[in-house]
């Protein structure tokens, strides 16, 4: 997903939620069956800031059973009532804006203004859109001599990533609840604290017991148990393509509905005649936002040969404004830091030149999982850094000869999640974008729209999130003939 809002200073400082040593099942906080815990680290300080349980298969089973028990009543609840609960949750999220932002800043390392404007305000807005959709959606229609009903899929197992911890939760849970489904959520082990805050908000908003359940823990244990549980009707997963492939196979074997939002290697295509300075500066900002940990980031910048060197200079100058520890936060953990640095080294080995940043640790920051904002020039379209998702603040600049060459390069990966096109006018940019094999394209700097469908082509996933298309993922169709 992309930067969803204008950065602004938070109105007040909040408190970081330090974690409950409990899972949320059947409307109450209860101890997990096992004693193992997950330590939550602040990526900027490398210090433990909280603990949550490492739930196991027995906890997942209890959560699924609670969700199944709550399903008949919630699915029969009038859409207007479901809408009212979601609207109340939206209002509570807005009221607790400072605490949510502080918690995400603590467990993800995002700078507080970004944690407020994007990690807090955007999911609050998304919750509001699904409150509206729950009230407005035509769950019943007449087609000829038939009455056609859209009914909830059932119990949803939602597995979310760490990079946009609250947004990804809301993008799954809100439409599922709006549709009349019940949910078991397994959030990423790196960022579970805001998920616990969210569970409390839903309960306070009046959501009946068992409709939403939260099990924290590790993917290979709690996540796998959730995917494989026979009481789960649908699995919605956001994360790596490798894990998504395994989840898709398991769900397919059990004939379960599945929604997968996976990786990306999106192209930012700057056509001749476009405003080069604006396109490059916005492109660098897009890649460096959230420390590069955005699946839809435009990590490949394609520029025509005539203006390529000018673009390189502009990108290097733009990157210099993103100082680690200030505008550029850390990546989520030590493993991710080494992964990103390894990709930078690999890019140089394969012929790229570093024009900003590099694999070395930032000066004056001995603590924290920081990576320098890096710009690689002269990147070959088939090279590793142009083909694989790095998930860090690394931009690859690629030269193209003409529009057909640009299209070949843009479409030349296994991914198809997002992208951008800059042209001399919208018509030219749209004509190019229509030929791109990708799920969404920003035209001449178009902004992220929380009501528009989000999802990918090819190995970037299956299904869509957000708006009416996102709601449809959690509905199944029944027709009655007369």
Q: Which of 107, 181, 189, 295 is catalytic?
A: 295
Reduced 3-state DSSP string for 330-375: CCCCHHHHHHHHHHHHHHHHCCCEEEECCCCCCCCCCCCCCCCCEE
Can 261 be counted among the known catalytic residues? yes
Residues 6+ apart with CB under 8 A from 293: 162, 163, 331, 332, 336, 391, 392
442 C-beta neighbours (distance < 10 Å), count:
23
Residues 6+ apart with CB under 8 A from 411: 436, 437
Nearest to 95 by CA among 106, 104, 87: 87
Please provide residue 466's backbone torsions phi and psi, each rounded to the nearest 5 degrees.
80, 145
Q: Which of 261, 389, 465, 473 is catalytic?
A: 261
In Å, how far from its chain's centre is CA 121?
A: 14
Can 181 be counted among the known catalytic residues? no
How far apart are alpha carbons 219 and 214 in whole angstroms?
Answer: 14
Active site residues: 261, 295
């Amino acid at each position: 997903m992309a930067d969803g809002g204008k950065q602004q200073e938070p109105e007040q400082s909040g408190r970081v939620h330090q974690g409950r040593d409990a899972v949320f099942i059947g409307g109450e906080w209860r101890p997990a069956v096992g004693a193992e815990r997950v330590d939550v680290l602040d990526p900027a300080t490398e210090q433990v800031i909280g603990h949550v349980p490492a739930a196991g298969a027995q906890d997942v089973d209890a959560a699924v059973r609670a969700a199944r028990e709550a399903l008949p009543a919630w699915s029969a609840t009038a859409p207007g009532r479901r809408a009212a609960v979601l609207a109340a949750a939206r209002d509570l999220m807005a009221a607790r804006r400072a605490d949510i932002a502080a918690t995400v800043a603590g467990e993800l390392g995002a700078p507080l203004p970004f944690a407020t404007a994007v990690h807090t305000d955007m999911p609050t807005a998304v919750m509001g859109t699904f409150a509206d959709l729950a009230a407005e959606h035509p769950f019943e229609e007449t087609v000829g001599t038939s009455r056609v009903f859209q009914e909830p899929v059932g119990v949803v197992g939602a597995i979310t990533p760490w990079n946009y911890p609250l947004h990804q939760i809301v993008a799954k849970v809100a439409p599922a609840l709006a549709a009349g489904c019940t949910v078991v959520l397994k959030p990423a082990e790196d960022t579970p604290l805001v998920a616990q805050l969210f569970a409390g908000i839903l309960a306070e908003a009046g959501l009946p017991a068992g409709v939403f359940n939260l099990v924290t823990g590790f993917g290979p244990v709690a996540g796998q148990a959730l995917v494989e549980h026979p009481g789960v009707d649908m699995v919605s997963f956001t994360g790596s393509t490798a894990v998504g492939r395994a989840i898709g196979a398991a769900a397919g074997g059990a004939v379960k509905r599945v929604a997968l939002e996976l990786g990306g290697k999106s192209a930012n295509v700057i056509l001749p005649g476009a405003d080069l300075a604006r396109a490059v500066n916005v492109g660098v900002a897009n890649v460096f936002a959230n420390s590069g940990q955005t699946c839809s980031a435009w990590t490949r910048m394609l520029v025509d040969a005539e203006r390529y060197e000018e673009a390189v200079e502009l990108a290097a100058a733009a990157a210099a404004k993103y100082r680690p520890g200030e505008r550029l936060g850390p990546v989520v953990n030590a493993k991710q830091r080494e992964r990103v640095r390894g990709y930078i080294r690999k890019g140089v080995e394969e012929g790229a030149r570093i024009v900003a940043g590099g694999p070395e640790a930032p000066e004056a920051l001995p603590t924290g999982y920081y990576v320098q904002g890096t710009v690689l020039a002269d990147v070959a379209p088939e090279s590793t850094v142009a083909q694989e998702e790095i998930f860090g603040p690394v931009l690859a600049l690629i030269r193209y000869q003409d529009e057909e060459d640009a299209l070949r390069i843009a479409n030349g990966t296994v991914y198809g999640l997002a992208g951008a096109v800059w042209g001399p006018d919208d018509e030219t940019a749209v004509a190019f974008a229509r030929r791109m094999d990708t799920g969404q394209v920003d035209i001449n700097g178009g902004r992220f729209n929380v009501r528009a469908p989000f999802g990918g082509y090819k190995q970037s996933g299956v299904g869509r999130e957000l708006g009416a298309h996102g709601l449809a993922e959690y509905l199944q169709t029944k027709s009655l003939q007369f």
